[in-house]
């Protein structure tokens, strides 16, 4: 029987998972369920509430 990870690879190929800051527990659960690790990222919040997000993995040509 195919695992969720194998099913996702067949459907979507090699995916990259990123998460924000509001629900880290849910992000980990989804990552564990799919069998794909969360990719790293930096999030900087400026005083005017703007955000800068830097991804630690290339997403060029990837499903994210």
40-64 confidence digits (pLDDT tens): 999 999 999 999 999 999 888 776 5
Check residue 30 and give its pLDDT.
93
- Domain assignment present for residue 61? The answer is no
Residue 63 lies in a domain: no
Tell whether 62 is covered by a domain. Answer: no
Cα–Cα distance between 24 and 29 in angstroms, integer?
A: 9
Q: Name the CA dihedral angle for 2, 34, 58, 14, rounded to a multiple of 10 degrees.
A: 10
CA terminus-to-terminus distance, the chain: 25
Domain count, the chain: 1
pTM reported for the whole predicted model = 0.69
Domain of residue 25 covers 4-55
What is the rounded distance in angstroms from the CA atom of residue 1 to the CA atom of residue 24? 29
- State the pLDDT confidence band at 6, using cuts at 50, 70 and 90: low
Inside any domain, residue 60: no
| In a domain? residue 9 | yes
């Amino acid at each position: 029987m195919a695992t969720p990870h194998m099913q996702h690879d067949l459907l979507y190929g090699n995916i990259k998972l990123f998460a924000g800051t509001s629900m880290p527990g849910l992000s980990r659960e989804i990552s564990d369920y799919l069998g794909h690790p969360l990719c790293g990222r930096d999030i900087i919040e400026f005083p005017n509430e703007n955000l800068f997000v830097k991804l630690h993995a290339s997403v060029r040509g990837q499903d994210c």
